[in-house]
Each structure stands twice: as structure tokens, then as C-alpha cells.
Amino acid sequence: MGIHPTAVIDEGAVLGEVTVGPYAVIGAGVELADGVRVGPHAVIEGHTRVGEGTEIGPHVVLGGLPQDVKHDRGADTSLVIGARCVFREFTTAHRGSSGGRGVTEIGDDNYFMANSHVAHDCVVGNHTMFANSAAIGGHVQVGDGAVLGGLCAVHQECRVGRLAMVGGGAMCAQDVPPFSIAQGDRARLFGLNILGLRRAGLSDSATMAALKDAWRTLFVGDLPRAMALSRALESHAEVDEVRELVEFLRTSTRGVCRAGVHP
């Protein structure tokens, strides 16, 4: 642990037992918990709180002003980051906006690859992965265990459900349901994220069979959406994951990505 003599640290910052590399800049209002490592030329500003063991790579910028022209620059907004996250080179995460929630929240054990971006007022769960240059717009919600492929983008106000997989280069203008694979421009759904479900320990035969049947009812059949939701829930009311999927669809405000057709 140590702070390089060329680092610029405001006297208003609160630092635990941390490591700060050359030419890093840490502003007033920043709080770094024990075990945080800040790389060379990284910039952390605003009311930004970083949890223990998080790694902040070279040239990362955290807690910058939201890219929202309506934002009141004098507003007291913040960025909150959990424990053991990794932010690789040139990653950015902005604090909340005065016209939104006022806070951007990132959970624990998330991995952000180079050039990825988290915009203002977003909520990112735990154990997610953002591949290189993945970007989410303002007010986006990303569920636990979701994976965003390289160069993908998620439109403002959209949601990416738990254990969903967004393919590289996908452009998501609507919600991506939990446990799903989405890809393309504009993104379409191409079935369940089987590998992600297995890795999360949800690969027992009963759960998988119920999810596959619910998926066919919701996205392959010709039933109207409301009727399909009711039928999927009636058929598998005992399966937590099916209930989660149905509730996600019912609470969508931007609409849900449509099912695609495999070539």
C-alpha cells in the first residue's frame, strides 16, 4: 500500500489503506475503502464511494458529471461502487443526474473491460461483466450476472435482466429479459442463455424444462402477450425463475426485444 508522490489528492478525500499510482487525481468528496488500488492517471471526482478491494486501472474516470444537458451542475449527486470490482483501462462511470435518481449504483464483483461505460442514474447489480467498449445509457438497469458483449449498447431507460447475455455489437433499444440471449441491430432474442444458467447453478432438469416451456409460450407461440404471460405462470407457478421472467415482462415500460429467427 502506498501513494505515489505525483498523485494529486484533495484534502477533502477520505482514503483507507489504499494504493494510488503516478499522476492519479482524487477529488474532494471521494471515499476509497481499504484495499482499493488506483492506477496511473486515473481520475476520481465528485461524491464517489468505492468499496473495498476494487481495482481502478490506468486512465479510468469515475464520478464525472453526467452527460445530461439538463443536469444542474450544482446538484449533490453521487456514484456508489461496491466491493471487488475491476475497472480496466479508460472505463468511465458517471454520477447521477439532478433530473434522475441522483445516484449511479454499481454492486459487487463486477468486471468492466477497457473503454466500457456506465452512464448517469444506472443501477448495475453484482457479478456482471462488460466486455470492451460495452456502453449503457442513462437510467439503465442491469441485473445480477448479466454479460454485455464487446461494442454493444443499451438505450436509455432499458433493463437487462438477470443472467442475460447481450451479444457483441448488439444495439438494445428495448428490455432484454432475464436468462435470455440478445443480439443484432436492433437486438432480437435468440433463446435462453443456457451456459449462463449452468454457470449460475440453475441447470437442474426441472428448472430448465420449465424455462424452456415458458420461453416457447412467451416468445414462439402466437398467443397475445397477456394470455401468454398468464399461461406461462399457471403452468410453472412453482418455479422461481419462471415467475421472475413473467414479472419482468409485465413490468416493462419500454417494451421487450422481439424473438429473432435463426438463419
Residues 225 and 99 in one domain: no
d(Cα 210, Cα 195) in Å, to the nearest integer? Answer: 16
Residues 6 and 133 in one domain: yes
- The pLDDT of residue 1 is 67
Judge whether 158 lies within some domain: no
Residues 215 and 111 in one domain: no
CATH label of the domain that carries residue 7:
2.160.10.10
Cβ-count burial of 200 within 10 angstroms (0-12 exposed, 13-18 middle, 19+ buried)?
middle
Judge whether 89 lies within some domain: yes
Task: Confirm if 138 and 68 have CB atoms less than 8 A apart.
Answer: yes
How many structural domains comprise the chain? 2
Mean pLDDT by 10 residues, the chain (263 residues): 94 98 98 98 98 98 96 94 98 97 98 98 98 98 98 98 98 98 96 95 92 95 92 96 98 95 55
Residues 131 and 206 in one domain: no
Whole-Å CA distances, 261 to 32, 47, 171, 182, 226: 47, 46, 17, 12, 22
Task: Confirm if 179 and 161 have CB atoms less than 8 A apart.
Answer: yes
Residues 203 and 112 in one domain: no
What is the β-pairing status of strands 180-183 and 188-192?
antiparallel
H runs (alpha helix) in 115-250: 194-199, 205-215, 225-235, 240-250
Which residue range is the domain that position 30 belongs to?
A: 2-139
Residues 105 and 212 in one domain: no
Residues 111 and 206 in one domain: no
Residues 44 and 111 in one domain: yes
- The pLDDT of residue 263 is 45
d(Cα 232, Cα 243) in Å, to the nearest integer? Answer: 9
- The pLDDT of residue 71 is 93
Residues 7 and 134 in one domain: yes
Judge whether 258 lies within some domain: no
Instruction: Please measure the distance between the N-terminal and C-terminal CA atoms of the chain and give it in whole angstroms.
Output: 54
Nearest-CA neighbor of 236 among 216, 259, 258? Answer: 216
Q: Which residues pair with 104 in a beta bridge?
A: 79
| Residue numbers annotated as active site | 120-121, 138
Judge whether 36 lies within some domain: yes
Residues 203 and 118 in one domain: no
Q: How many CB atoms lie within 10 A of CB 246?
A: 22
Q: How many CB atoms lie within 10 A of CB 149?
A: 19
- The pLDDT of residue 228 is 96
Q: Of the residues 117, 139, 161, which one is the last residue of a structural domain?
A: 139
